[in-house]
Amino acid sequence: MGREVSFSDGETVRVLDLDKSGHVRAPRYVRGKTGTVSHLLGKFKNPEDLAYGKYDGPEKELYRVAFRQSDLWQGYEGNLDDTLVIDIYEHWLEGA
């Protein structure tokens, strides 16, 4: 995936629902959901490469993305302000 993406703090993003199986780090419950970038974590080797012995792949920007729990789960029980924050690599994100 050669797509250049970079997001800044506070930007609204959507997690892509990539048809990618195996060792991926974007759990299904956030795919297709919209959240807000809350922190830029820097560049890391892509675990989706590392898990299969590919050590020379490009580094990927890693972001903390915050979601409202009520946007993730139907009938979420709790405060409407309850949130979930998750670390997502750039190639799983698009601007929203």
Smallest separation, CB 96 to other proteins (Å):
19
Site for other proteins contains 82 (CB under 8 A): yes
CA distances from 8 to 3, 70, 89 (A): 17, 24, 13
Dist. CA 54–CA 34, nearest whole Å: 30
9 sits near other proteins (criterion: CB under 8 A): no
Nearest distance in Å: CB 17, other proteins: 16
Task: Give yes or no for residue 47 binding other proteins (CB under 8 A).
Answer: yes
Collect all residues with Cβ–Cβ distance below 8 Å to 45 and sequence separation of at least 6: 55, 57, 59, 60
Closest approach of Cβ 24 to other proteins, in Å? 9
41 binds other proteins (CB under 8 A): yes
Residue with tokens 């890391």: 44
